[in-house]
């Protein structure tokens, strides 16, 4: 199991009362929201990297790609 840390969040009293009224587990909601934000950030980062790679690959001709693959196969 991974280690955990404590995170403190201030919310309006009215919101806290409503969370209690509806039996909402605020810790779980916050945990899931933070995990979702991290997933979104990772997706943006990966998308950016894919765009960068796509930009590089588009500069290569099919002939250059084929030659590069042949060189790799012959050297291995």
Give a yes or no: residue 4 inside a domain.
Answer: no
Q: Rounded to whole angstroms, what are the CA distances from 21 to 8, 11, 18, 34, 73?
A: 21, 15, 5, 23, 66
Q: Identify the pLDDT of residue 55.
A: 87
Q: Identify the pLDDT of residue 7.
A: 93
Q: Is the confidence at residue 76, as pLDDT, over 70?
A: no
Tens of pLDDT, residues 12-69: 999 999 999 999 999 999 999 999 999 999 999 999 999 999 888 888 777 777 888 8
Q: Measure the CA–CA gap between 27 and 44, rounded to whole angstroms.
A: 26
- How many domains are contained in the chain? 1
Give a yes or no: residue 7 inside a domain.
Answer: no
Give a yes or no: residue 38 inside a domain.
Answer: yes
pTM: 0.68
Where residue 1 falls among pLDDT bands split at 50, 70, 90?
low
Q: Identify the pLDDT of residue 8.
A: 94
Give a yes or no: residue 8 inside a domain.
Answer: no
Give a yes or no: residue 45 inside a domain.
Answer: yes
Give a yes or no: residue 6 inside a domain.
Answer: no
How many CB atoms neighbour CB 72 within 10 A?
9
Could you tell me the residue range of the domain that residue 41 belongs to? 13-75
Give a yes or no: residue 47 inside a domain.
Answer: yes
């Amino acid at each position: 199991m991974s280690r955990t840390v404590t995170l403190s969040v201030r919310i309006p009293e009215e919101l806290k009362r409503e969370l209690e009224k509806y039996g909402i587990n605020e810790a779980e909601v916050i945990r899931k929201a933070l995990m979702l934000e991290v997933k979104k950030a990772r997706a943006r980062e990966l998308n950016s990297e894919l765009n960068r790679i796509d930009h590089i690959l588009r500069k290569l001709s099919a002939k250059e790609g084929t030659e590069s693959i042949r060189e790799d196969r012959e050297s291995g």
